[in-house]
Amino acid sequence: RKEVEQDPGPFNVPEGATVAFNCTYSNSASQSFFWYRQDCRKEPKLLMSVYSSGNEDGRFTAQLNRASQYISLLIRDSKLSDSATYLCVVSNNAGNMLTFGGGTRLMVKP
Amino acid sequence: NAGVTQTPKFRVLKTGQSMTLLCAQDMNHEYMYWYRQDPGMGLRLIHYSVGEGTTAKGEVPDGYNVSRLKKQNFLLGLESAAPSQTSVYFCASSWKDASHTDTQYFGPGTRLTVL
């Protein structure tokens, strides 16, 4: 079993749609959680950290369920520019390493 | 302020050749990392460094060596390249370790092909 698992997609959605991605992780002692965005043939960039109470940044909402070891990302009012691969990222219990999921690819169509 | 830079951007090697990938950051970050990214596998940590003069093994260290002689530079070496090392290599740096909600800043990547 992979340490961080994501549905690879692709998710094809029209502009303006709401889309949700899920991620599960296997290490119950993980300390920190993130969503990164990676455009085609580019480097990953931090989209947002994920806090236990859930957090929102504009059209993006992230949630963490420690009991189920589950992280989600909700994107509202999708834009063409949201087309990218979204990486779920989890730290190990020592906090000195990040483990990346394989990514979920999103394609927003006009 | 260039952020994180990587040299070279592309390289083709023959099996058995050696090479060094250079990563440089100008943000005065303590922590630096080398990852490889393969299709469907996500990024995997090769080695990392928590400060000048220190290095540690990550998830997939075999076949690679690293050095952090200067705080701003982190070198990744392949002593005898193998086709299995064909990948995209990313360097990253951060202020703090992964236990904090801290951003890792990535370089643009090096695309390496081993024939």
Q: What is the pLDDT along chain B (115 residues), one digit of tens a residue?
A: 679 999 999 999 999 999 999 999 999 999 999 999 998 778 999 999 999 999 999 999 999 999 999 999 999 999 999 999 999 999 999 887 655 656 789 999 999 999 9
CB contact under 8 A, B41 and A102: yes
Distances (CA, A) of A46 to B31, B34, B104, B106: 16, 17, 7, 9
- Tell me what pLDDT residue A31 has: 82
For chain A, the average pLDDT equals 93
Q: Which residues pair with A43 in a beta bridge?
A: none
C-alpha closest to that of B5 among B109, B88, B87, B102: B109
**The two three-digit tokens of residue B28, written as one number:** 């005065």
Hey, CA dihedral for B38, B39, B40, B43, is it positive or negative? positive
Residues composing chain A: 110
- Tell me what pLDDT residue B80 has: 96
Q: Find chain A residues with C-beta within 8 A of B101's C-beta.
A: 32, 34, 49, 51
Q: Does the structure show a pLDDT above 70 at A65?
A: yes
Q: How confident is the model at residue A34 (pLDDT cuts 50, 70, 90)?
A: very high
Q: Find chain B residues with C-beta within 8 A of A102's C-beta.
A: 40-42
**3-state SS class at B60:** coil
Q: Which residues pair with B34 in a beta bridge?
A: B47, B91
In whole angstroms, give the CA distance from residue B106 to residue B115.
Answer: 27
- Is some CB atom of chain A closer than 8 A to the CB atom of B44? yes
Q: How many angstroms separate the CA of residue B36 from the nearest CA in chain A?
A: 11
Q: Which residues pair with B47 in a beta bridge?
A: B34, B57
